[in-house]
Amino acid sequence: MAREATGELRTLANGYEARVRIDAGARKGFALTGIAAGDHAGATARCRAMAQIAARLRRAGHATDAEKILEMAAKARTARAWSAIEAAVDALCSGTTAEATSKAPSFVDFAKAWTSGELHKKWPDHVGKKKDTTDDERMVRLYVEPVIGDVGIDAFTLDHAEQIMAHLPGHLSSSSRRHVAQLVRRVLSLAVYPSRHRRETPIPKGWLPKVKTTTAFSCLYPDEDRALLACAPGEGTEGVPLVRRLAYGILAREGMRKGELASLRWRDLDLARGRVALDRNKTGDPRSWALDPGVARALAAWRKLHRPDAEPDEYVLGEAGARFYVEQLADSLRADLALAGVKRDALFERSDARRPLRVHDLRATFVTVSLAIGRTETWVADRTGHRSSLMINRYRRAARTWSELDLGALSPLDEALPELRLPQGLPHVALSEVPARGENLNDSEQRRGSDSNRRVADLQSAA
């Protein structure tokens, strides 16, 4: 009768090591990180169990798979983890599947593999590459991981999903709650296929919460926008950093999503012609358009004065190669408005009918202003990427009110930002970097009313 395999246990300075024979060669050592230092009995039992696993795999002809499984066995801390290892060994030795050599990851780890692009690399035909993962990564970190911990993707149930939703902060909007629910559903769908970690998803049809569209949104009025963008730091006085004011101004004048602006690189801009191209965006639908003239001039000045050595692949608003941080930009926006002396209650109010101003409301400002001054739905959609008239129609009532109040358009961005304002003499930027009058720019009425455009035209004529 063959002697039972026991392995060799060694005591280390900070724990234990199990030495187990995988094949006919010498024993291999595995640090027992799943066993607490000082638990000699537990370490002995783990070493013996690992040796018996190795023996089973050798007899079944799976010695090549033993090392990977033994590494997991050495790290296992919970009964669930150990059961998964035993199930994998049983499956291998019975010949049911070769894919059972690795236990299913936790829900959180699997979600992170999705947001990081790892699943896309593994299954490019079935898992799309995410264009912007900032929001999804934040939701996993804030709303999922603290609630379910290391629950396995194969052990995740509807109760776990309900726990996540029950623990969401009360201030989240219905659309944000739905976004979290959609993330949970999508991760479980990928766990069914193509990863095949589970047979089916526990999420039933109709589980996603409905989005309430009755909450009022806010827009920045032109005078509030001017006050915010003019709130520059001075000697001995507090102010808003230029990069944030530039970001606010672009969002309110171009209709980009905040993630699109954060990901904008210099290669996406043609400042000589006043054009931007977003080949990579949330919807996966590349789009390009003519920038607002004031935005084009402001970006040209920003590059010349603050990013003179920027490479084409560098972020427009980022610094030292880093992406512009937008995760808590809404909090900064409200604080910056207060600093600029903007006190309208509707921008800061939280109630059943209204929520405080968000960064997304700068995009709403763009749509509202554009419709109010006569822009077409197609013109707006070219810039915002909206695929449905339904979304744009939400802003038509606000646009009619804006028009009735005769609020007009927002100030040209280069004039609203003191640091980038064109002086009466030569401009801050070379004429070749400033869009010419009438060249690929759509708003001729606004151009004729712009003092800065007249100054540029006069300088070009003189040149």
Domains along the chain with CATH numbers: 8-101 (no CATH), 107-192 (1.10.150), 222-462 (1.10.443.10)
Of residues 405 and 460, which shows the higher confidence score? 405
Beta-carbon neighbour count of residue 25 at 10 Å? 8
Pairing of strands 8-12, 27-31: unpaired
pLDDT band at 213 (very low <50, low <70, confident <90, very high): low
Q: Can you tell me whether residue 103 is helix, strand or coil?
A: coil
The answer to whether residue 441 scores a pLDDT higher than 70 is no
Q: What confidence tens digit (pLDDT) does each residue in 395-406 have?
A: 898 999 999 999
148 contacts 164 by C-beta, under 8 angstroms = yes
Q: In the chain, count of helices (H) and strands (E)? A: 21, 6
Segment 42-66 shows an average pLDDT of: 87
Distance CA 266, CA 277 (A): 10
Mean pLDDT, residues 313-317: 94
The pLDDT confidence band at residue 261, using thresholds 50, 70 and 90, is very high
pLDDT at 332 > cutoff 90: yes
**What percent of the chain lies above the pLDDT cut of 90?**
55
CB count in 10 Å sphere of residue 229: 28
pLDDT cut 70: percent of the chain above it: 86
Rg of the Cα atoms in the chain: 30
Whether residue 194 is preceded by a cis peptide bond, meaning omega within 30 degrees of 0, is yes
What DSSP string runs through 208-265? SPPPP--SB-----HHHHHHHHT---BTTB----HHHHHHHHHHHHH---HHHHHT-B
Total Cβ atoms within 10 A of residue 276? 23
Residue 106 phi, psi dihedral angles, 5° rounding: -70, 160
State the average pLDDT over residues 252-260: 93
Comparing 405 with 433, which gets the higher pLDDT? 405
Residue 278 main-chain phi, psi, to 5 deg: -105, 90
* Other CB atoms within 10 Å distance of the CB of residue 334: 17
pLDDT digits (tens, 9 = 90+) for 115-135: 999 999 999 999 988 767 778
**pLDDT on residue 282:** 54
DSSP letter assigned to residue 409: P
Q: What is the pLDDT of residue 134?
A: 77
Highest average pLDDT, of 6-20, 75-89, 203-217, 287-301, comes from 287-301
Residue 193 pairs in a beta bridge with none
The answer to which of 102-111, 143-152, 266-275, 420-429 has the lowest mean pLDDT is 420-429
* CA-closest candidate to residue 183, choices 199, 203, 198: 203
Residue 299 dihedral angles phi and psi, to the nearest 5°? -70, -35
Q: Is 336 exposed, middle or buried (0-12, 13-18, 19+ CB in 10 A)?
A: buried
Q: Which long-range contacts (CB under 8 A, 24 or more apart) does 267-270 make?
A: 267/312, 267/313, 268/316, 269/299, 269/316
Is pLDDT above 50 for 161? yes
Query: How many residues are present in the chain?
Result: 463
Helix, strand, coil in percent for the chain, rounding step 5: 50, 10, 45
pLDDT of residue 95: 60
Q: Determine phi and psi for 345, rounding to 5 degrees.
A: -60, -35
Check whether 236 has a pLDDT greater than 90.
Answer: no
Per-residue tokens: 11 = 């005591």
> What order of strands is seen across the sheet that includes strand 275-278?
269-270, 275-278, 287-290
The arithmetic mean of pLDDT across residues 291-305, rounded, is: 95
pTM for the full model? 0.58
